[in-house]
Chains A and B, each alone.
Chain A
């Protein structure tokens, strides 16, 4: 029962997250990022992610993190939501992964524990801090992109960068199917957890998991065929069509320049 509980918690969490990310409410707000052409947003934020990877100094990465915070504030993205959904999760995962680096990286010991056998070194702390800061900053930038841009616009922008049409079509449909799948999986888990009384023996658990996965897959395949037919029925021929017109205004050029300069400066200072 406890494993079922963990699974359903994960699924309901991802359901909430996927709904939040796919609701595109923030994308409709008037904010700094939203005011820029989606292509500029894409290039600019990816440039900043690249700058994060290229910087070797913690100070610079933290400065980029600050820039991300400012972008969030001016784009009507709630800091609290970012913290809860993004930063804490990343910290939990990357923290666990990076923590041993503090102990294992040789160098000048700063903290000595357990009678000398466990040493935290200055280099180790620097490494761990750099790792975690990089991931947090990079993920913040990509999350901002996704929160402030409707998915159809992301795809349209990618298409304008010459990504093959088939890839775009698959990205579009997978996005929709993920949502459907998470919803279906949530419902299945909810009904299954409520039906299961007590713990099942290991082999039975595995069989049930496999059967649940099988039913989920079958349902998804059937549903996906129908979704695709429905799209075709209304004239879908493979290309994404949106209401908005992508046209670069002077403000977009300013934004692009700002992004690239910030990235360039960060790389230069952080080399």
Chain B
């Protein structure tokens, strides 16, 4: 299956095609603010890593980008159009948006609600009212691509964690969206599954799709993103290239992305900020 090249936003000027524009977004869950005064611009074809500790607002932001929540104040525009609930009452716009912008949830169980894997992957195309033949051919192609064709008749509760993640991805990939919003795609996965997903993200980058990945795993960001946006308590704390952000220890500690505690190696006990995964052997001093 060949990826369609992302080509969404009308070019504002030759170099920049603004996809999402968020201005001073605020959002509350029952009077508890999750996002406050968040402003961000996302250009088409970008690959962004949203970094932040749990509770920093990453998931909320992704859901707002996917128009599942609407901000309580501030404005969100997609391709120059302001996204409002009224706009999504129109079937035509809603369905075309849902095809173009896809969200993969952190918990795959949330996304697997059909009796078999095949039905699950077919759910999206059916909702978009594609013709029957197209649904069948695209679903089969996607199952092959994601290496889950052998699971087509399996019910979701009989899948392993990695398989569930792949099915959840497949259910979104079948639509060939132009924007992919991924919420912690590699957490809880074994190394091989993680690398498969990283490969997939890099394929999408190559096809000029816009990929926004929320993660707290610093070790993968360089592979998946050209720009990092750090969230802290519902606001953008910093934005920059991976090299810039990852070298800013103070920022990382403040945003609760690294920790420092006493540990020992080589017979020496000390403490300094380091990444959460302790699998990396030997950091030098």
Contacts and interface: CB of A to CB of B under 8 A. Distances in A.
Contact between A and B in the complex (any CB pair below 8 Å): yes
Contacts of B63: 229
A223 B111 CA distance: 10
Contact of B110 (A19, A226, A242): A226
A223 B105 CA distance: 12
Interface residues of B, number: 35
Interface string A166-183: 000000000010011001
Nearest to B128: A235
Given A19-B157, A23-B155, A226-B105, A231 B113 contact: yes
Nearest to A19: B157
A241 interface: yes
Contact of B103 (A152, A223, A233, A237): A233
A232 B68 contact: yes
A190 interface: no
A235 B96 CA distance: 9
A124 B12 CA distance: 86
Contacts of A223: 107, 109-110
Contacts of B119: 152
B132 A243 contact: yes
Interface string A89-130: 000000000000000000000000000000000000000000
A269 interface: no
Kindly name the residue among A22, A232, A233 whose own CB sees the greatest number of chain B CB atoms within 10 A: A233
A231 B172 CA distance: 11
B127 A236 contact: yes
A58 B171 CA distance: 52
A24 B115 contact: yes
Given A223-B110, A226-B105, A243-B122, A234 B91 contact: no
B157 A176 contact: no
B116 interface: yes
A263 interface: no
B30 to A, nearest CB: 12
B66 interface: yes
B68 A229 contact: yes
B247 to A, nearest CB: 36
A22 B110 CA distance: 17
Given A233-B103, A234-B98, A243-B135, A227 B113 contact: yes
A65 interface: no
Interface residues of A, number: 28
B89 to A, nearest CB: 10
A175 B214 CA distance: 31
A44 interface: no
A149 to B, nearest CB: 12
Contacts of B91: 237
A30 to B, nearest CB: 15
A237 B127 contact: yes
Contacts of B136: 243
Contact of A234 (B132, B153, B171): B171
B111 A230 contact: yes
B70 interface: no
Given A226-B107, A243-B132, A22 B124 contact: no
Nearest to A176: B113
Nearest to B153: A28
A22 B115 contact: yes
A151 interface: yes
A183 B157 contact: yes
A150 interface: yes
A243 B138 CA distance: 13
A231 B114 CA distance: 11
A183 B66 CA distance: 29
A183 B157 CA distance: 9
A151 B110 CA distance: 19
B238 to A, nearest CB: 29
Contacts of B111: 230
16 contacts: A24-B115, A152-B119, A179-B157, A223-B109, A223-B110, A227-B113, A230-B111, A234-B171, A234-B172, A235-B99, A236-B127, A237-B91, A241-B127, A241-B129, A242-B126, A243-B122
Given A223-B110, A232-B98, A243-B126, 14 more contacts: A22-B155, A223-B109, A227-B110, A229-B68, A230-B111, A231-B113, A234-B123, A234-B127, A234-B171, A234-B175, A235-B124, A237-B91, A241-B127, A241-B129
Interface of B: 63, 66, 68, 91, 94-95, 98-99, 102-103, 105, 107, 109-111, 113, 115-116, 119, 122-124, 126-129, 132, 135-136, 153, 155, 157, 171-172, 175
Which 9 pairs between the two chains have the least Cβ-Cβ distance?
Answer: A235-B127, A234-B124, A241-B126, A226-B110, A235-B98, A230-B111, A229-B68, A176-B113, A24-B115
